[in-house]
Amino acid sequence: MFVTILGRLQQYSPVSSTCTLKECQKVKKVENTDEIGQIIHRDFLDPFCESYVLVGEGETALGDNYLKFEDEVKKFEMRDSDIIVASYPKAGTTWTQEMVWLIGNDLDFKAAEEHLDKRFPHFELCTIVDFQKMKDTLGATRPEFVGNSLNYIRNQDGVRYIKTHLPYDLLPNQVLTGTKLPRIIYVMRDPKDVCVSYFHHGRLIQGWRADFENFSKVFLSEKIMFGSYWKHVLGFWEQRHKPNILIITYEDMKIDLLGVIRKVAEFLNKELPEEKIPQLLKHLSFESMKNNRAVNQQDKIESRKKHKLVPEDGAFMRSGTSQSYKGEMTEELVSKFDQWSKQYISHSSFANDPTAALYLNSAQKTTKM
């Protein structure tokens, strides 16, 4: 299998002359021939993720390990009863997962003591890095919900809660064709906050070594892992009228968590036990989640540090605020981000949504949309 994939990779490389045009367009490798490629090769790749490829119509940047699972992902058997939390990385996925899981499980706080990754596994996690190689070289074993997440989910009974960072076009075929109608809750967040949070996450968990300047260059180039922020958001946004899709924002959760909880409960057809709502709000607060080992990813961070895989110390539950980018981005970078956002937003019906204005605050000062 591995040999076949490597063969495909070489075949799809832009310098190859053996593939047909269609095949060549399907998967391209990120080469180190320009500044972005050089940063990626120097600061992002490692023995467990040796190259990035651009996958699908949206040319989403993913580790080459993804290619081993590409067919399995596309042909994955979904169920109408599945509940999916989808997001671009660092948009508030974990917070949304915990909220959705508790609503779906009648606010069973006792059962929520089990690790979130087990209750609400990450669909494509096994594709992100080569876990088999990690095991062979470092002796680092991973449970099935990490190393073979697709299989773990396939074998789950009852309502399956599934996290994914895949863009809409890379979801299983049955979702795209509407053959199966899992409910999808998509959470989005200001891309500037996402970028800052992703930068710290990269150093804390992924082992990426880029400084913030280079990280944001790669983010804006849309060749960061999981690709273009705006293609991701707008891919789901365009599907928002489907009855099985709900879009929420991190910012709304910060301002009116209860309002979002009620919206999600309605979407999932769940009655909320009103007497337990104060406990739910407390459970979902940043302070509680920061200290809750079932959701705060502390075990993952400790394991990365033990195997000396990461350059940074810190917490997954880092700032938990909106607009924390203001402390980390120069005005020039903020303006670059907003100009980039504006290019996407102005060609989309998202421009009419109040969230667009929120995400474009610096561009709006100078330019009319």
Token pair, residue 250, equals 């991190």
Q: Pick from 169, 318, 336, 346: which binds ligand PPS (CB under 6 A)?
A: 318
Considering the rule CB under 6 A, would residue 284 count as an interface residue with ligand PPS?
A: yes
Considering the rule CB under 6 A, would residue 63 count as an interface residue with ligand PPS?
A: no
Considering the rule CB under 6 A, would residue 148 count as an interface residue with ligand PPS?
A: no
Per-position x/- string for 176-215, each x denoting binding to ligand PPS as judged by CB under 6 A, each - no binding: -----------------x---x--xx--------------
Token pair, residue 350, equals 């998202």
Considering the rule CB under 6 A, would residue 91 count as an interface residue with ligand PPS?
A: yes
The answer to whether 58 and 48 are in contact (CB under 8 A) is: no
**# residues contacting ligand PPS (CB under 6 A):** 20
- What distance in Å separates the CA atoms of residue 243 and residue 234, rounded to the nearest whole number? 17
The stretch near ligand PPS (CB under 6 A) out of 5-13, 55-63, 69-77, 85-93 is 85-93
Q: Which one is catalytic: 41, 115, 165, 200?
A: 165
Considering the rule CB under 6 A, would residue 62 count as an interface residue with ligand PPS?
A: no
Considering the rule CB under 6 A, would residue 286 count as an interface residue with ligand PPS?
A: yes
**Pick from 91, 143, 140: nearest CA to 117:** 143
Considering the rule CB under 6 A, would residue 90 count as an interface residue with ligand PPS?
A: yes
Q: Pick from 289, 329, 345, 363: which binds ligand PPS (CB under 6 A)?
A: 289
Q: Pick from 27, 62, 85, 92: which binds ligand PPS (CB under 6 A)?
A: 92
Considering the rule CB under 6 A, would residue 317 count as an interface residue with ligand PPS?
A: yes
What's the length of the chain?
369
Considering the rule CB under 6 A, would residue 102 count as an interface residue with ligand PPS?
A: no
**Bridge-based pairing state of the strands 183-188 and 245-249:** parallel
The stretch near ligand PPS (CB under 6 A) out of 27-35, 50-58, 82-90, 110-118 is 82-90
CB of 364 to ligand PPS, least distance (A): 23
CB of 192 to ligand PPS, least distance (A): 11
The stretch near ligand PPS (CB under 6 A) out of 45-53, 74-82, 234-242, 315-323 is 315-323
CB of 92 to ligand PPS, least distance (A): 5
The answer to whether 348 and 234 are in contact (CB under 8 A) is: yes
CA–CA distance from 226 to each of 117, 360, 366 (Å)?
19, 22, 31
The stretch near ligand PPS (CB under 6 A) out of 24-32, 87-95, 103-111, 337-345 is 87-95
Per-position x/- string for 208-247, each x denoting binding to ligand PPS as judged by CB under 6 A, each - no binding: ----------------------------------------
Please, which residues bridge with residue 110 across strands?
none
Whether 347 is catalytic is no
Which residue numbers are catalytic? 165
Chain residues that interact with ligand PPS, rule: CB under 6 A: 87, 89-95, 193, 197, 200-201, 284, 286, 289, 317-320, 324
